[in-house]
């Protein structure tokens, strides 16, 4: 008993001044932001950035975040190590840039009948175009280029038809490959490899995609799911099945995690509010901690790690 009590006494001493040491290790915010500016070329599509002194996070806003995050993965890690700041990429695409890119890719002879429609949850841009039958051979090429540039799918529809000229994601088959694995074997492989990668997911199921089928994996949020996109891409090749991330977040589970992680002394005044448009959770507290409170900072980071959501008050 005495030994156990002595160990507990020593633990706070080992963690003394952790927050102060982290602040000292961080580059001054203006210098860090200047370094970020120098690191990314204009072609990267970085159009805005911000920082939070309390959490030590620099947030970067790219026109096409999924593409930028993949292309600059090593650079983002290097900047984080150099500056001492946690550098995150905001997952919302720039809608104006999406619409502009869609217009720029339209070949001569195509007539855009209405403004592009952005479907953010499914990460699609829908176009209604007038095009002659001979132009239909260009549809797949245009859609493929759009996805490569933006990370979004381009869905093209002609007047008088409720069915898009192209279906599904251009670079992925709308149907399983002819030599695809049996469905239950596919489920087993997906579960095993995601678990080995450290992923937590709630459901794997088969979904219809027009005349074809695909497998949908449900994570607590699509933000968390996209952390395992490379694993899912490899699983597609291995199983022969198209695999997509469920675009919907599990709001009930997210709120439950937030309630469990908050310090009861802060006094949760009402049910946490979930905002899908910016993937955030807002809490109203009776005794809110300061923005630079060490425990609050740790809770904010833990909730982001578990849910992919930003906590605010």
Range of the domain at 289: 251-312
- Beta strand pairing status for 280-282 and 310-312? parallel
- Domain co-membership, 259 together with 307: yes
Question: What's the pLDDT score for residue 174?
Answer: 56
Of the candidates 89, 112, 135, which is a domain's last residue? 89
- Domain co-membership, 295 together with 258: yes
Least confident range of 6-10, 52-56, 83-87, 284-288: 6-10
- Domain co-membership, 236 together with 269: no
Mean pLDDT of the chain: 84
Q: Is residue 297 assigned to a domain?
A: yes
**In the Cβ-directed half-sphere of 245, how many Cα atoms lie within 13 Å?**
26
Which of 227, 245, 253, 291 lies closest to 66 in space, CA to CA? 227
Of the candidates 141, 157, 173, which is a domain's last residue? 157
Q: Is residue 165 assigned to a domain?
A: no
Q: Is residue 69 assigned to a domain?
A: yes
CATH of residue 288's domain is 3.30.300
Q: Is residue 285 assigned to a domain?
A: yes
* pLDDT for 165 beyond 70: no
Burial 131-147 (b: 16+ CB within 10 A, else e): beeebeebbeebbeebb
- Residue matched to tokens 């003394």: 16
Which of 222, 230, 273, 242 lies closest to 120 in space, CA to CA? 222
* pLDDT for 155 beyond 80: yes
Q: Is residue 166 assigned to a domain?
A: no
User: Model confidence over 248-278: pLDDT tens digits?
Assistant: 899 999 999 999 999 999 999 888 988 876 7
Q: Is residue 282 assigned to a domain?
A: yes
DSSP tag of 178: T
Domain count, the chain: 4
Least confident range of 59-63, 106-110, 208-212, 272-276: 208-212
Least confident range of 78-92, 121-135, 178-192, 207-221: 121-135
- Domain co-membership, 81 together with 106: no
Going by pLDDT thresholds of 50, 70 and 90, the confidence category of residue 66 is confident
Q: Is residue 99 assigned to a domain?
A: yes
* pLDDT for 15 beyond 70: no
Question: What's the pLDDT score for residue 159?
Answer: 77
- Domain co-membership, 227 together with 296: no
Mean pLDDT, to the nearest integer, of 98-123?
87
User: pTM for the complete prediction?
Assistant: 0.52
Copy the structure tokens of residue 74: 């090593």
- Domain co-membership, 101 together with 60: no
Q: Is residue 41 assigned to a domain?
A: yes
Q: Please, are residues 249 and 221 in contact by the beta-carbon 8 Å criterion?
A: yes
Of the candidates 35, 61, 89, which is a domain's last residue? 89
């Amino acid at each position: 008993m005495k030994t156990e009590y002595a160990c507990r006494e020593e633990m706070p001493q080992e963690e003394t001044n952790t927050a102060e040491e982290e602040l000292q290790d961080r580059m001054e915010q203006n210098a860090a932001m200047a370094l970020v500016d120098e690191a990314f070329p204009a072609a990267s599509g970085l159009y805005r950035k911000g920082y939070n002194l309390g959490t030590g996070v620099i947030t970067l806003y790219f026109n096409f975040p999924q593409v930028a995050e993949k292309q600059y993965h090593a650079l983002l890690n290097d900047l984080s190590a150099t500056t001492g700041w946690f550098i995150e990429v905001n997952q919302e695409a720039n809608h104006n840039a999406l619409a502009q890119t869609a217009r720029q890719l339209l070949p001569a002879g195509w007539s855009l009948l209405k403004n592009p429609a952005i479907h953010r949850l499914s990460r699609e841009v829908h176009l209604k175009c007038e095009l002659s039958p001979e132009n239909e051979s260009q549809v797949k090429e245009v859609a493929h280029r759009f996805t490569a540039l933006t990370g979004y799918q381009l869905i093209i529809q002609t007047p008088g038809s409720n069915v898009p000229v192209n279906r599904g994601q251009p670079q992925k088959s709308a149907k399983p490959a002819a030599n695809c694995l049996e469905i239950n074997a596919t489920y087993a492989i997906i579960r095993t490899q995601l678990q080995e990668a450290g992923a937590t997911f709630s459901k794997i199921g088969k979904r219809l995609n027009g005349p074809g089928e695909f497998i949908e994996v449900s994570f607590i949020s699509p933000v968390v799911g996209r952390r395992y996109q490379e694993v899912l891409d490899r699983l597609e090749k291995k199983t022969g099945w198209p695999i997509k991330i469920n675009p919907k977040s599990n709001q009930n589970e997210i709120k439950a995690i937030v309630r469990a992680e908050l310090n009861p002394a802060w006094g949760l005044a009402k049910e946490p509010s979930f905002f899908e448009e910016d993937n955030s959770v807002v809490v109203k507290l009776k005794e809110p901690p300061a923005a630079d409170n060490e425990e609050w900072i740790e809770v904010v980071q833990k909730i982001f790690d578990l849910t992919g959501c930003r906590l605010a008050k």
